[in-house]
Structure 1
Amino acid sequence: MNIVDTIEQKRAVLFDLDGTLIDSEWFYYKAWKAVLATYGFTLGSDLWLSELAGKTDSQAFEVLRSRYGFQADKSEVFERARKRIAQQLDEEAVPLMPGSADLINFLHQRKVTMAVVTSSKREVATYHLERNGLRHFFDVLVSRTEVVHPKPDPEPYRRCVQQLGLPPKDCLVLEDSFTGATAAKAAGLTCFGVQPHESIRQVLVVDRSFDNLHEVREFLENQWTELN
């Protein structure tokens, strides 16, 4: 096997949340599409996936304003989005991404430390993790609430690594967006892109790309078995 295809066994795996661990991108897309429609703005799925997914609300709003001329009161838009999302949460659960539970159990059995680094607020991230019965698997949760500069700034990942007490070389990041992958690489971490959409996967600056978490689990199992 070529040396560039191998990866040493990591002591920690750091998960992005939305679109990587939980299948929330379409959930939030549906909410934001409905809200923006009340302002006469049509939010297409391509725009959502390529430019807004993975960003904080403020970052996404700035993209809409500066690139697409969206003009509305920011606080009002956010309040409408909050109410819409709360309504959807009462009506439906946000499921795990395919392979999430399998990968988490695989890492847990191997005693690999796990963490979540997300641009969602802490209460939102905690809600999703607890509702899916996953919170206890993660030693560290770094959210939008704790940082001054969210992704794509490296601060969230640097903060997580510091809290774990591990050197960057011992950590592996799983990300689905350009924003998240940029943050991970800027923090000096090994990053795998996990993205089913080829057009987005091709622009991720990562160490290796996968379609889904099932593939990540299979790859890690094969690599780490050969190294042991």
Structure 2
Amino acid sequence: MATLFHRHGCKAVVFDMDGVLIDSEPLHFQVLGELCQSLGFTLTWERFVPFIGKDEVTFWTWAIREHQLGAPMQDYIRTYLDRLNRFFTSTAHIPPIDGVVELLEALKREGMGIGLASSSAIRVIEDTLGTLGISQYFDALAGADQVGKSKPDPAVYRKAMEDLGVAPSECGAIEDSNYGMLAAKASGAFCVAYRNPSAGEQDLSMADAAVDSLRELL
């Protein structure tokens, strides 16, 4: 049985990470919320949702301006990433989203290249894939800190495609956020939207296809 991407003539598939491979938005919200609380302000879920799919710089640019924080931005980003790393490494087991492993194995059987394009830093990407136990499936990883731009800019997708050696017309993508979908579409990929309930209200109307479960792609 061919995957949806195989039927559309794709030679490679590039995954988003947060919300597609791992149901991490609630985890990021918890860690970020605790840090914000220590800095003297409360981060609500409603305030957090618009930053889903964006990088750390975007969030901390807002936080520094809105709450008149005095330290350099990189100090806040470093503290956040350190706390996030400790959270993941101290957690006994965080499973991939349902259907991820089966989809990765099916794509490998079809001879597809598999990449990842995320607004997270490459350090977070590598740590997260290691925590999930799925690093071995990926042929290319692209983080926002490597290209100097985050989604909705398509730069991370273009880097992943270049590293995979495929043209945009030969590449599929899976996204769960509006920013991510815009980046995938701008790169020229065939984009599937995964409606993740943890991602809040996201406009995914521009996607080429949409699913409520990754198993629907098999």
* TM-score, scaled to structure 2: 0.85
**1:150 and 2:147 equivalent?**
no
* Ranges in structure 2 where 5+ consecutive residues have no aligned partner: 1-5
1:201 to partner: Cα distance:
4.1
Q: Which digits, 9 at most, give the CA deviation of each residue in 1:117-176, with x for residues without a partner? A: 112222221122133222221111112232122221111111221222222111100011
One-letter amino acid of the structure 2 residue matched with residue 186 of structure 1: A
**1:215 and 2:216 equivalent?**
yes
Distance (whole Å) between structure 1 residues aligned to residue 20 and residue 11 of structure 2: 20
State whether residues 52 and 63 of structure 1, in contact with CA within 8 Å, keep that contact through their aligned partners in structure 2.
no
Corresponding residue of 1:223: none
Corresponding residue of 2:193: 193
Corresponding residue of 2:55: 56
State whether residues 14 and 117 of structure 2, in contact with CA within 8 Å, keep that contact through their aligned partners in structure 1.
yes
Corresponding residue of 2:166: 166
Deviates more, 1:197-206 or 1:6-15: 197-206
State whether residues 157 and 184 of structure 2, in contact with CA within 8 Å, keep that contact through their aligned partners in structure 1.
yes
State whether residues 85 and 124 of structure 2, in contact with CA within 8 Å, keep that contact through their aligned partners in structure 1.
no
1:36 to partner: Cα distance:
0.9
RMSD: 2.3
Distance (whole Å) between structure 1 residues aligned to residue 82 and residue 140 of structure 2: 29
CA spacing shift, 1:150–1:201, aligned 2, 3 Å:
closer
**1:71 and 2:68 equivalent?**
yes
1:76 to partner: Cα distance:
4.1
Deviates more, 1:32-41 or 1:72-81: 72-81
**Percent of paired sites with the same residue:** 27
One-letter amino acid of the structure 1 residue matched with residue 81 of structure 2: R
Larger Rg computed on CA atoms: 1
State whether residues 177 and 204 of structure 2, in contact with CA within 8 Å, keep that contact through their aligned partners in structure 1.
no
Distance (whole Å) between structure 2 residues aligned to residue 215 and residue 54 of structure 1: 23
Q: Which digits, 9 at most, give the CA deviation of each residue in 1:70-109, with x for residues without a partner? A: 3213344334323422331242144311211111111112
**Equivalences for residues 1-228 of structure 1 within 5 A:** 8-49=8-49, 51-64=50-63, 69-72=66-69, 73=71, 74-92=73-91, 93-197=93-197, 200-217=201-218
One-letter amino acid of the structure 1 residue matched with residue 25 of structure 2: E
